[in-house]
Structure 1
């Protein structure tokens, strides 16, 4: 592999940039605590592993070249992000005193792991990113399969490490963040962010 240290540095900078994963992890950490946040992270990183294997097997290349497949996955992912965002915003209208006192009740049947997984695996932009980013650090003709796999696993582990720290930080503020006014603000912000990400994904043009 070429310039592995540079790959790690660039990966860290890209990982800490807020994206759909950040919104979902934040929301689930607030409502489910550290356990819910980490389950979301594990779901998200499982999606990264799927994208890594897709790159290794050449599936991502097919996805990028096929306008039809790209559009299908893009719109399904966009609809899912819009669903999460609108659900979060809609719950603000239906929020009552009892729900504020026990905010986890309305979220207890939702799977943080599945939310994290679907948010990531249904985002074709991640597939395109992996397909264009990883090859820049691969030495041509020298165990390309293992190199792609190592880079993908490195990116996944760095993602887990960053979100582990992020979840711990959010969890420490949980008592303050679960106040009624703060909770409404978080729901509103994350809801709007997820809707924005969904709209952006829907309007994304095939590379």
Structure 2
């Protein structure tokens, strides 16, 4: 792989990461309703999931998902159910905000719990596996050496830029939303909106067809 190829890959990766989707929306909602550290914990989890998808694509595991309708449907349903669970959890937080009981403790979550959420959010989306299976090979050259090693290297680059983008987005989202979240009524409606976003993403994932 030459420098131009890597720069092109990095530029496209940044644009793709910034596009509205489950991952970046998850980072934004966590950062607005909690704090930037929570958003970054989620971002680390999401990026860990990206590396799993990259490795799966490099080793040919993603191809199994591509060719197996059962595997695709199973992962799709699991991912949708997880998103619906997040929607339900957000509605509970909205109710707690209404009573004021969430003001001190309810919005504090252990780092690892949020990190785990990010991993699950990413791993349970079959679209990510299929994306890497289609995207990474376009920037690989068999003449440059091991195709698997090149794909993993590209995956690392994608993961690093994704984390940096998510971190910046997390800080910006919290800065813009913190004044609004100080108001209990606004906080409650934000949690309801967050629940709606998760539910819509879950429904969208369920409607995805195996190609």
So what's the TM-score if we normalise by structure 2? 0.89
Deviates further, 114-123 or 179-188 = 179-188
How many residue pairs end up in the alignment?
206
State which of 175, 185, 188 in structure 2 corresponds to 1:181. Answer: 185
Aligned position for 2:30: 28
Aligned position for 1:143: 146
Deviation (angstroms), 1:36: 1.1
Tell me the secondary structure at the aligned position of residue 111 of structure 1: helix
Deviation (angstroms), 1:75: 0.5
User: Are residue 7 (structure 1) and residue 9 (structure 2) matched?
Assistant: yes
The 8 Å contact of residues 30 and 177 in structure 1, kept in 2 or not, is answered as no
- d(CA) in 1 for partners of 2:150, 2:88: 40
Q: For 1:39-188, what aligned pairs fall within 5 Å after superposition?
A: 39-99=41-101, 101-102=103-104, 104-105=105-106, 108=109, 111-141=113-143, 142-178=145-181, 179-188=183-192
Tell me the secondary structure at the aligned position of residue 18 of structure 1: coil
Deviation (angstroms), 1:88: 1.1
- d(CA) in 1 for partners of 2:96, 2:36: 25
State which of 198, 201, 205 in structure 1 corresponds to 2:202. Answer: 198
Listed one character per residue, the Cα deviations across residues 153-189 of structure 1 (whole Å, up to 9, x for unaligned) are 1111110010111111123235313222332232122
The 8 Å contact of residues 100 and 180 in structure 1, kept in 2 or not, is answered as no
Deviation (angstroms), 1:76: 0.2
State the superposition RMSD in angstroms.
Answer: 2.0
So what's the TM-score if we normalise by structure 1? 0.90
Give ranges in structure 2 of 5+ residues lacking alignment: none
Tell me the secondary structure at the aligned position of residue 170 of structure 1: helix
Rate the CA distance shift 1:198–1:28 in 2: closer, same or farther, 3 A.
Answer: same
